[in-house]
Structure 1
Amino acid sequence: MNDQSPKPWYRETWLWLVLAPLILVVLVSLTMVSIAFRHADDTVSDTYYKDSRMYHYTAGQDERARELELAALLQFNPETHVVSLDLTGAVEYPPALLLSLSHPVEEDLDHHIRLAQVSSGRYRGTYDGELHHRWYLRLMPQLDPEQHLDAEWRLKGEINFELGQAAPLNPAVQ
């Protein structure tokens, strides 16, 4: 006698042939969603109009730097992680300066380096981590990066660490 008792539902071959592609699609979808959230691009500022209006306000900082004939030369030392700055111009040298390094793509990689005065017009500071590729530079006498709009003057520049370890800083050109 041939006993053909039915198998439990989870032991049926046809069921797994139907469910396997569906389960695979769900797993791949969850993986893709987690990758998308983990590696999301930075978003455009919601206040872009306000930021563009503030550009005219901060242009006064560049004007003031031109009036004071300010210029600086920045030098990075990758072995010791020391950054040196030589500042020239008709200004009373502040005891400390703030150097902001802005990454062109990833906001999370931005750095703020406090530069202390070591002699007249000469500043030095240290930074953590390795610096590679291209960065935007901003130098100002205001030590709080959140209050950069209150700075009396600012100098700007750009550095590509693939090409060298030094960069000039000057007032932004209108």
Structure 2
Amino acid sequence: MKTPWYKEPWAWLVFFLPLSAVIAGITTLFIALSDPDDLVVGDYYKKGKAINLEITKIKQAQKLGISFGLKFVDGELVIKPTGIEKKFPLLNVNFYHPTLEEKDFYLALTQDGSGNFRHTIEQNVDGKWRMTITPFENNWKIQNVITLPQTEFIDIKPRPIEAN
């Protein structure tokens, strides 16, 4: 007597291999559609024009001799001007995480009585960050790649994008 096909182990193996490939393909498609890559830029021409404008702002900061010292210890960020002796009414400070956009954050800082800019940061910011500093007028820009925490002051100077 012949056994039915569904009782043969080889028949199930033949069905299982293509079925597992289909399941893996559907899973891959679901992951790709539900979690798009944030690092892809759609309009390269506009992005290129914006980069040229940013380079002009960095060169302006170099020409003015603007620089800062930065320290981050026990959740307290301290930025002190070390370049020109100009008072800044407000500094815009942006922190960009290298891979996770949702970790990016922005600070608007004013000077305290000693001339430093201070802020207490509650979230965990350990690791590598791209940081930008611009004034309220937005006529110059400093950007650096830094690693936090920093127990001693580090120099934050205007550098072209390639030097980071």
> How far apart, in 2, do the equivalents of 1:93 and 1:17 lie?
72
Could you say which residue in structure 2 is the equivalent of 1:86? 80
> How far apart, in 1, do the equivalents of 2:51 and 2:28 lie?
39
- Structure 1 gaps of 5+ residues are 1-6, 143-149
Q: In the superposition, relative to structure 1, how do residues 57 and 37 fare at CA in structure 2: closer, same or farther (>3 Å)?
A: same
- Structure 2 gaps of 5+ residues are none
Q: How many residues align?
A: 157
Q: In the superposition, relative to structure 1, how do residues 56 and 24 fare at CA in structure 2: closer, same or farther (>3 Å)?
A: closer
CA offsets per residue over residues 62-105 of structure 1, 9 Å max, x none? 2332343211011112x3x22111013242321x3221112233
- Quick check: 1:167 aligned with 2:154? yes
Q: Which has the larger radius of gyration?
A: 1
Instruction: Give the alignment of 1:122-133 within 5 angstroms.
Output: 122-133=116-127
- Quick check: 1:105 aligned with 2:123? no
Residue aligned with 2:110, SS: strand
> How far apart, in 2, do the equivalents of 1:43 and 1:156 lie?
19
> How far apart, in 2, do the equivalents of 1:24 and 1:44 lie?
31
Q: In the superposition, relative to structure 1, how do residues 130 and 37 fare at CA in structure 2: closer, same or farther (>3 Å)?
A: farther
Q: In the superposition, relative to structure 1, how do residues 17 and 119 fare at CA in structure 2: closer, same or farther (>3 Å)?
A: same
Aligned-residue offset at 1:126: 2.8
- Quick check: 1:59 aligned with 2:46? no
Instruction: Give the alignment of 1:28-39 within 5 angstroms.
Output: 28-37=24-33
Which residue identity does 2:24 align to in structure 1?
A: V
> How far apart, in 2, do the equivalents of 1:17 and 1:141 lie?
67
Give me the identity figure in percent.
Answer: 23
Q: In the superposition, relative to structure 1, how do residues 108 and 167 fare at CA in structure 2: closer, same or farther (>3 Å)?
A: farther
Which residue identity does 1:24 align to in structure 2?
A: S
